[in-house]
Amino acid sequence: MKLLHTADIHLREENEERWDALCGIIELGKKESIEAMIISGDLFDADIDALKLKGAMRELFTNVGYDIIIIPGNHDAKSYDDRAFFGASVKVLRSLEDRYETDDAVISGLPFKNIKEQEIYPILRNISDNLNGTKSNILMYHGELLDSYYSAHDFGNEGGSRYMPVRLDFFAELQFDYILAGHFHTNFSTIEFGKSGGTGYFVFPGSPVSVTKRETGKRKVNLLKTGGPPRELFIDSFFYEAINIKLDPFIEMDPVAAVKRRVDAADRKAEIILTVEGYLNSIKHGIDETKLNEELELLRQNNNIEEINFKAVDLSRILEDDIFKAFDAKLKAANFSSHEKTAVKEYFLKAMMESLS
Ligand SMILES: [Mn+2]
């Protein structure tokens, strides 16, 4: 079975970028001739958004050429009551008994509920016991994986609470071959786990469109052919791109040119979060902190820059000091590697900064 897996689109009526991302994924599914699309929770940002968007959704989710299988997430847990209709191609897995079955795969779902770790294992065991080993067994799930090094920030705006947490060792004795998950926004992440009779895959595809500024970089979805490993696929949706520039006053390039070069190279679809740190030498380059700030604001006017973090500091007072210059000349002549010279120079700079205070 060939399918496309995503989650956490967080649709809102007033947010066009997220709607466009969904339309793009629907088209990608057609292009890839998939049999089903899996949306593992948080299709909507809130239940009210599901109400507002349902009409438009039906049209989008009709005649797509494949089925769309959805489970409720923590943000849209109450959006899918029994009488709700989201379009002819949509199948919502509302209960633990609900399944989607094809010739070679069985898809089960764990619709989001506010339950604890200890309560989840028996539920998973129950679903697994009713499966057989002849087909690929897929579980749709929305929540936290406790094994990995995720922080609360990775799940969008969720505060500190735990959302339906599981551990990988839950799955070692169960029959699931793929856990196609949602809830982890930051990036595409696949973890292999050992299970009786082979290898299983736990996949968080990451949000397919940046929902907060913490989700940086081009977004992805999971293209899966059962029997094989998950495959990450770039999509052409809105995203934030973090550009971090550390200015080096010993490089000949003008600091403004250094920043421009990086901003120019950014993806056109990206909204840039620009951080400029390091040091500048206003005497050597003729650009002081005030002038650099003006140049950054000019760049903001002509590019997709969402945020500027201006942290660079003018160190010309030290860099043009005779003591530093004499030290630098000796260092240049010394028999050190360039790596060592940089480190020594940084120590000396720090020592001189201390002596100023
Ligand atoms: Mn989410």
Per-residue CA distances from 344 to 18, 81, 349 (Å): 49, 66, 9
User: What is the CB neighbour count within 10 angstroms for residue 235?
Assistant: 19
Q: Please give the model's pTM, rounded to 2 decimal places.
A: 0.87
Closest CA to 106 of 115, 116, 97, 119: 97
Tens-digit pLDDT profile for residues 135-150: 999 999 999 998 765 6
pLDDT of residue 324: 93
pLDDT of residue 4: 98
Q: How far is the CA of 241 from the centre of ligand 1 (A)?
A: 20
Confidence of residue 61 (pLDDT cuts 50, 70, 90): very high
- Proportion of the chain above pLDDT 90, given as a percent: 83
pLDDT of residue 269: 87
Q: How far is the CA of 132 from the centre of ligand 1 (A)?
A: 31
Say which CATH topology domain 2-234 has. Answer: Purple Acid Phosphatase; chain A, domain 2 (3.60.21)
Contact call for residues 141 and 182 (beta carbons, < 8 A):
yes
Confidence of residue 158 (pLDDT cuts 50, 70, 90): low
Q: What is the mean pLDDT of residues 215-223?
A: 97
pLDDT of residue 172: 93
pLDDT of residue 196: 81
Q: Can you spell out the DSSP letters for 209-244?
A: S-SSTT-BS--EEEEEETTS--EEEE----EEEEEE
Q: Which ranges of 137-279 would DSSP assign to H, the alpha helix?
A: 255-264
Q: What is the mean pLDDT of residues 207-234?
A: 96
Biggest CA–CA distance in the chain, Å, is 81
pLDDT of residue 355: 84
Segment holding 47, helix H or strand E = helix 47-60
Q: How far is the CA of 117 from the centre of ligand 1 (A)?
A: 19
Q: How far is the CA of 54 from the centre of ligand 1 (A)?
A: 19
Contact call for residues 272 and 243 (beta carbons, < 8 A):
yes
Per-residue CA distances from 174 to 73, 195, 199, 238 (Å): 23, 7, 12, 37
Q: How far is the CA of 334 from the centre of ligand 1 (A)?
A: 56
pLDDT at residue 128 greater than cutoff 90: yes
Query: Measured on CA atoms in the order 296, 297, 300, 306, is the torsion positive or negative?
Result: positive
Q: How far is the CA of 73 from the centre of ligand 1 (A)?
A: 7
Q: What tokens does 181 get?
A: 């998950």
Q: What is the dihedral of CA 318, 319, 320, 325, to 10 degrees?
A: 110
Q: How far is the CA of 183 from the centre of ligand 1 (A)?
A: 4
pLDDT of residue 96: 92
Euclidean distance between CA atoms 351 and 343, whole angstroms: 13
Q: What tokens does 330 get?
A: 């000796």
Q: How far is the CA of 284 from the centre of ligand 1 (A)?
A: 49
Secondary structure letter of residue 170 according to DSSP: G
Q: What is the mean pLDDT of residues 279-295?
A: 95
Per-residue CA distances from 20 to 16, 29, 237, 310 (Å): 6, 14, 7, 32
pLDDT of residue 161: 62
Q: How far is the CA of 283 from the centre of ligand 1 (A)?
A: 49
Q: How far is the CA of 270 from the centre of ligand 1 (A)?
A: 21
Euclidean distance between CA atoms 27 and 262, whole angstroms: 32
Contact call for residues 345 and 331 (beta carbons, < 8 A):
yes
Q: How far is the CA of 29 from the centre of ligand 1 (A)?
A: 22
pLDDT of residue 339: 93
Q: How far is the CA of 228 from the centre of ligand 1 (A)?
A: 27
Q: How far is the CA of 88 from the centre of ligand 1 (A)?
A: 25
Q: How far is the CA of 279 from the centre of ligand 1 (A)?
A: 39
Q: 158-162, 199-203, 214-218, 339-343: lowest mean pLDDT where?
A: 158-162
The SS3 assignment for 221 reads strand
pLDDT at residue 244 greater than cutoff 60: yes
Block residue for tokens 């795969």:
105
Tens-digit pLDDT profile for residues 71-81: 999 999 999 99
Tens-digit pLDDT profile for residues 30-45: 999 999 999 999 999 9
Q: How far is the CA of 282 from the centre of ligand 1 (A)?
A: 46
Q: How far is the CA of 154 from the centre of ligand 1 (A)?
A: 9
Closest CA to 181 of 214, 210, 224, 216: 224
Nearest 5°: phi and psi at 263? -65, -40
Contacts of 150 (CB under 8 A, 6+ apart): 144, 184, 186
Confidence of residue 109 (pLDDT cuts 50, 70, 90): very high
Q: How far is the CA of 336 from the centre of ligand 1 (A)?
A: 52
Q: What tokens does 158 get?
A: 């969720």
Mean of pLDDT over the chain: 93
Q: What is the mean pLDDT of residues 98-114?
A: 94
pLDDT of residue 153: 63
pLDDT at residue 157 greater than cutoff 70: no
Q: How far is the CA of 129 from the centre of ligand 1 (A)?
A: 29
Q: What is the mean pLDDT of residues 285-309?
A: 95
pLDDT of residue 22: 97
Tens-digit pLDDT profile for residues 161-209: 678 889 999 999 999 999 999 999 999 999 999 998 789 999 999 999 9
pLDDT at residue 110 greater than cutoff 80: yes
Q: How far is the CA of 211 from the centre of ligand 1 (A)?
A: 9
Euclidean distance between CA atoms 317 and 19, whole angstroms: 52
Q: What is the mean pLDDT of residues 277-306?
A: 95
Q: How far is the CA of 268 from the centre of ligand 1 (A)?
A: 26
Q: How far is the CA of 136 from the centre of ligand 1 (A)?
A: 26
pLDDT at residue 160 greater than cutoff 60: no
pLDDT at residue 101 greater than cutoff 60: yes
Euclidean distance between CA atoms 124 and 167, whole angstroms: 12
The SS3 assignment for 277 reads strand
